[in-house]
Amino acid sequence: MWDFIYIDDVMSGVLSLIEHEGAGIYNIGGGNVVSLKTVVELINNHMGSKLDVQYGAIPYREGQLMHLEGSIEKIKNRTGWRPKIDLEEGLLRTIKGLA
């Protein structure tokens, strides 16, 4: 499970910290975790792909992270910032930019 965030939200989070003089270490994330399988399926669906993805065909590497999620509570409490672009919208914007 992974926490994805669209670049516009990263930048707005950084700017919110600058505006609030937020020195320190903050997580800036989407605040929502999804599986890589979900991301691949969304991309395939939105691009009209008929790829037959072979999930698990390559073994996991030793020590590979299986869950990556950062808490955004600290930045929300400090600045009121929240991500605005969900995963699907971010993927659609990225796909549109490829055309």
At residue 21 the predicted structure's pLDDT band, cuts being 50, 70 and 90, is confident
pLDDT of 1 reads 92
pLDDT of 56 reads 86
Axis crossing angle, helix 87-98 with helix 36-47, rounded to the nearest 10: 40
pTM of the predicted structure, to 2 decimals: 0.85
Mean pLDDT score of the chain, rounded to an integer?
A: 93
Radius of gyration of the CA atoms of the chain, in A: 16
Q: What is the mean pLDDT of residues 44-58?
A: 91
